[in-house]
Structure 1
């Protein structure tokens, strides 16, 4: 074992034990290689793992595309003219009513909750590849409903059905990336789904901006039709992708798992492939013992709440729920907020387009930050930064014209600028780290179940938050405008306090190290300081979770 004297933090290589309590040399050799590999070496040695992890995550682009699309269409003149309702004085405007805003905004979210619980069984039964292919095929048919919807009720039903498919896309890429990429690249590639999501949002914002002056039905039909363009390329990618070796081991297909390992790496010798396979088999067996699961039986959602997995499930669910609770519905897709704040639709969609671009750049910048700071510090600083920005947005609402109720033009633009700053902080500090954290803390045997539960938790809160936000912002409801920031500031402050005690550092830890740290009840905030020894023992000051 090697210790870093300068940092005071022990950086130890985990030595693995077989059933007879002897060190398994194949596992030891593969673990040492994995933990000492640099980012440059990992990219050079595993270029196909990087390629497949990225391309298989591109399915979430369509979820980001349609989520931003539907949120933006609520203030899109041609869409409102088709599906909206005229309100006489004092409003004197055609609007999508509050109940239908809730319906259109949350139908897909409700569908995603249903799809997510199905995802875990689908992914474990047929694998990530076939789950992706079948979901893409179903989606191709469902897009027709949105494209030809004659009224708002049919459109809402179409969004509900599409949401079931998006539930699969929202986690399948992260599951796959976490199981095919080398340790040193795990944080980058599991968080790439954030890049893919914001890329979809960016594309939809650009298309809407390009069609904003089109007054016909094609102004909103074309954005729906664009989703058909991606289906065949994505199906082709999934068809040729290798299955996850971790999934193949869980299925008992060791020979196929070894072949998959060879496909994911470059110039891997037969001996090195067997060493990597030994690590996967050993970790899988260790988790079976920890969960007291019967060998050969498929894991269930109940396993996520047994033993040490309960804490791991808590962390995954809370960090995913936090994506919504920090005010994503308020300023995460800010076009509607810009319009209601008083900015004209043309300027609002330009700002929305720029916001999507900032989100993409912020997520890419987070890869630089996580290299030097890890997961935990970025999440804590991110919560603090977002809380300050939300409070500032809310306080600016009180900068009114001549002491009246109308916010000044300067304050409105300042709020819009702070909304963009919030999006930058979210994407560069917190958003991408939440994806990596949820994938890393979950045990490999129940990763699909844990991530499905985490995403479902997010969707439930997104539905609740969407209803709250509509009530807060809609002119026919609360009409609070920027004052709604107080609500999301309070949630973000609570999450900041939670993160100080419940967020562990997972950077640089193998899946077996994490299994041991959780099983031994090492305090979550001490993970980065804790050494894991040859026999799986841990060295720290405390042994119980708070």
Structure 2
């Protein structure tokens, strides 16, 4: 709460309200001195132009507008980006200690593996700080989902092999299953985990961003409820008793997420919000976003009009 009190207001929100001087001050507060050089007046002008273009294109400001015209595509992509976090198999991470136990590890070792899992997750996020500026969001999502789907299918196959081998070999396979989940956690926290937040924030239109993010988070929560209900049934010996074979289920949903990402999620990296708006208005295929040229008006010397939110 204290951090929020001292945080600067969103420059985009201030621009939409016509409070341009406050928007400049906020933008300067959000910029690292000496690391990023830019013309703040030109940046604010581009924000105004982007907002006006979206208004002229018919983008409204209500939740209903999220499902109209071009914004329907943008909203659905944002919702799916956050839903993919669940569909990529994160349910097994949430119940990791129980998963390790059902995979055959002793209780103490299952707890130790969980601690190692969270430590790897932290390392993965630190690594994501360096990969995000260097690789595209779409690229990281695709590679991440491809790797995660492969790991989950391997976990499922190990679960099948474990059921067919004697106890001594079964114990060894239990450790392999646990190790694979550690590898899964690392790659999840390098790719799909943190990249999702960039995509969800960058894909929606400027005027509907807050509402689109709210809808996307609602999608995540609904899928998370479903995952939290069915995953214990998958792992519980007195219920479905899938054990490590649950990797097949989430491997399948992860593979479907990979296909959706390939065909539907565009590459926003390196694009301004104005460029993204034009690409969506032109109905550019997701696979062509990165290399499609966009002509933007030269905003240098353009007089900034006073704007008000409709």
Aligned partner of 1:360 in structure 2 is 122
CA RMSD of the aligned region, Å?
Answer: 2.4
Aligned partner of 1:178 in structure 2 is none
Pairing 1:416-431 to 2, within 5 Å after superposition: 416-431=178-193
**Equivalent residues, number:** 295
After superposing on structure 2, the runs of 4+ consecutive aligned residues of structure 1 that deviate more than 6 Å are 404-407
Aligned partner of 1:437 in structure 2 is 199
Asked if residue 255 in structure 1 is aligned to residue 21 in structure 2, the reply is: yes
Q: 1:278 to 1:534 in 2, by over 3 A?
A: closer
CA distance in 2, matches of 1:401, 1:481: 10
1:398–1:407 Cα contact (<8 Å) kept: no
2:275–2:296 Cα contact (<8 Å) kept: no
Asked if residue 493 in structure 1 is aligned to residue 255 in structure 2, the reply is: yes
Q: 1:524 to 1:341 in 2, by over 3 A?
A: same
1:397–1:407 Cα contact (<8 Å) kept: no
What TM-score, normalized to structure 2?
Answer: 0.88
1:475, CA displacement in angstroms? 2.9
1:504–1:525 Cα contact (<8 Å) kept: yes
Q: Please point out which of 54, 60, 65 is paired with 1:287.
A: 54
Asked if residue 372 in structure 1 is aligned to residue 138 in structure 2, the reply is: no
CA distance in 2, matches of 1:512, 1:240: 29
Aligned partner of 1:310 in structure 2 is 72
Aligned partner of 2:303 in structure 1 is none
1:243–1:260 Cα contact (<8 Å) kept: yes
What TM-score, normalized to structure 1?
Answer: 0.51
CA distance in 2, matches of 1:263, 1:401: 59
1:218-274: CA deviation from partner (whole Å, max 9, x where unpaired): xxxxxxxxxxxxxxxxx222222221111122233233223323433448xxx9433
CA distance in 1, matches of 2:176, 2:71: 44
Q: 1:405 to 1:449 in 2, by over 3 A?
A: farther
CA distance in 2, matches of 1:424, 1:315: 25
Q: 1:383 to 1:332 in 2, by over 3 A?
A: farther
2:15–2:48 Cα contact (<8 Å) kept: yes
The higher relative CO (CA closer than 8 Å, separation ≥ 6) is in: 2
Asked if residue 278 in structure 1 is aligned to residue 45 in structure 2, the reply is: yes
Larger Rg: 1
1:477, CA displacement in angstroms? 1.4
Give the match's secondary structure for 1:368: helix
Q: Which runs of 5+ in 1 are unaligned?
A: 1-234, 294-298, 537-546
1:317, CA displacement in angstroms? 1.0
Q: Which runs of 5+ in 2 are unaligned?
A: 299-310
Q: 1:467 to 1:535 in 2, by over 3 A?
A: same
